Structures are given as C-alpha cells and as structure tokens.
C-alpha cells in the first residue's frame, strides 16, 4: 500500500497536474473571497444563494476563515475532477494492467491511490487557506472591515476548524469523483457526470425543493465545510454525506476487485 502511495505521488507531482490544480484553487478562492468582501455592501448579497454577510460578521474571529470555508463547494469540484481523472485515466491509458501486474492486490492499489489523493487534497486546501486569508486581509483594508479580532486565539481556532471542515468536505467530493471514475472508467464521463450532478442537479433541486438538500451528498459536504447550518446540523451533514460516499465506495471497490481487466 505504501509503495502504491509513493508511486501515486510521483504522478500527482507532475507540473501539468499540480500547477494547473493550484491555479484552479487560486482562481476559485480568489473569486469567492472577492465576492465576499468586495460585494459586502451589495443589496444582491455576497454569500451563497444571495445570502448577505455584513461587515459585522466579517470582522468576527470567524471572518478570517469565511472565504475559504465558502470556497469548499468549488474546491470540491476541483477535487472531484482530480480524483476522477486520476482514477479513470488508468483505464483509458491502459496503465491499470501494469499497476496490477506490479501490485496484484487491487485493494492495496485503491487504498494507496486514495491515500495519495488525500495528501494532494491537503495541499490544495492549505493553499486555498493561504490565498483566502491573504486576500481577506487585502480586501478588509480596501472595504474598511476591522481585522482586530482576526489575530485572537478564537480566530486561530476558527481557521483550524475551518481548515479541517473544508478538508473533510474536499476529500468527500474527491471520493465522489473516485467512485465515478471507477464506475465509468473514463475521465471525461466521470468528470462531466460529477460536475453536472453536483452543480446542476443537486444545486437546482435544492434551490426549488425544500429540504431535499438533506439527502444530497454534495450539498451536505458544503454544509460540513461551513461547520453546519441553521437547518442541518454539522453531525447530520457529516455522517449522512460520508455514509453515502463510503457506501458508494464499498460498492465500486467490490466491482473493482471482481471485474476483469480486459483493456
């Protein structure tokens, strides 16, 4: 398993993947942070689905981590794409047969891959946190938002909690991508179905059907990233979303173990 993890890191470190992923993370975090701070006075709102987050909220100790917490949904889409592509490409390149000849235990391959991609997700979220916090300070100055509470121990705790929650959510989205990658065995199919499901299907239905987001893993992961919401508790969101994901992962892991590798 460790050998697989080391090998996967070699693949994930390649500049074409790592640099483009970090650029995507920078773009997503910058976009959310810019909207959050620069539209603070907008009557249209500056948060998700038109929610208004005022100066008073942004100047709280939790204000420092709000930008990257709110980025979790889009960071998740990036993770979904990376995890799905890294898994499904083994089928399209035909490299799975090479991996299985060198490591016949399919579960070790799967666990090693997941471990490496979790490490990649940690780098992604750390980078997002750094970009989000730096931009938050910059924009707070521009929009006259007080940052006095951002250097307190409460703020440090909020950053830590935010980091852990965003990481859990990002890995959750990634696992969803991995499930799709194993199921569809094609990066394009897995990514397009994942993104359509997350952004369009879940997003639209949740906007129009009351309380349906309680049953959607993508929506629940977003709530995990924000530490819970008024309607849905953190614990419910965490256990239900990961329940769906781990159940799905168990099914595709079984298929991966039993399926012939004929391409």
Partner 1 sequence: MSSPLALDVADLSKKYGDRMALSHANFEVPMGSICGFVGPNGSGKTTTIRMLLGLITPTTGGGHVLGESITEPEKYLPRVGAMIEGPAFYPALTGFQNLNVLAKIGGFSTDAIAGLLDLVGLGDRGDSKYKTYSLGMKQRLGIAAALLPNPKLLVLDEPTNGLDPAGIHEIRTLLRKLADAGTTVFVSSHLLSEIEMISDHLVMLRLGKVIFSGKTSDLLAKQQPVIVAKPENVSDLNKLAQIATAAGHDVRIMENTVHVTGTSDFSAKLNKAAFEAGITLESLTPVKASLEETFFEMTGE
Site string for partner 1, 15-54 (x = CB under 8 A): -xx-------------------------------------
Nearer to partner 1, 24 or 100 (CB): 100
Instruction: Tell me which stretch binds partner 1 (CB under 8 A): 25-33, 35-43, 76-84, 89-97.
Output: 89-97
CB 83 within 8 A of CB 174: yes
Nearer to partner 1, 1 or 57 (CB): 1
**Pick from 49, 153, 210, 260: which binds partner 1 (CB under 8 A)?**
260
Nearer to partner 1, 100 or 122 (CB): 100
Q: Is 81 in the site for partner 1 (CB under 8 A)?
A: no
Site string for partner 1, 97-126 (x = CB under 8 A): xxxxxxxxx---------------------
Distances (CA, A) of 47 to 58, 149, 154: 11, 21, 22
Q: State the Cα–Cα distance between residues 113 and 228, nearest whole angstrom.
A: 29
Q: Is 4 in the site for partner 1 (CB under 8 A)?
A: yes
Instruction: Quote the tokens at residue 122.
Output: 């940690």
Positions touching partner 1 (CB under 8 A) are 3-4, 6-7, 10-11, 14, 16-17, 89, 93-95, 97-105, 260-262
């Amino acid at each position: 398993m460790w050998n697989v993890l080391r090998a996967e890191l070699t693949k994930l470190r390649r500049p074409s993947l790592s640099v483009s992923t970090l650029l995507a993370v920078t773009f997503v975090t910058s976009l959310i942070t810019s909207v959050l701070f620069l539209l603070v006075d907008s009557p249209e709102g500056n948060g998700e689905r038109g929610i208004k987050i005022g100066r008073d909220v942004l100047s709280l100790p939790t204000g420092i981590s709000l930008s990257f917490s709110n980025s979790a949904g889009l960071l998740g889409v990036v993770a979904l794409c990376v995890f799905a592509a890294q898994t499904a490409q083994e089928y399209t390149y035909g490299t799975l047969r090479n991996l299985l000849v060198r490591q016949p235990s399919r579960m070790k391959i799967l666990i090693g891959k997941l471990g490496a991609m979790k490490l990649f997700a940690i780098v992604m979220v750390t980078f997002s946190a750094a970009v989000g916090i730096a931009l938050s300070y910059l924009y707070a100055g521009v929009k006259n938002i007080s940052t006095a509470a951002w250097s307190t121990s409460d703020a440090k705790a909020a950053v830590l909690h935010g980091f852990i929650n965003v990481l859990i959510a990002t890995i959750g989205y990634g696992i969803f991508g991995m499930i799709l990658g194993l199921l569809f065995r094609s990066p394009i199919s897995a990514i397009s179905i994942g993104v359509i499901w997350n952004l369009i299907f879940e997003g639209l239905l949740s906007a129009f059907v009351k309380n349906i987001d309680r049953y959607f893993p993508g929506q629940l992961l977003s709530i995990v990233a924000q530490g819970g919401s008024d309607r849905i508790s953190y614990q419910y969101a965490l256990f239900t979303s990961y329940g769906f994901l781990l159940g799905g992962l168990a099914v595709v892991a079984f298929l991966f173990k039993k399926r012939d590798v004929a391409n």
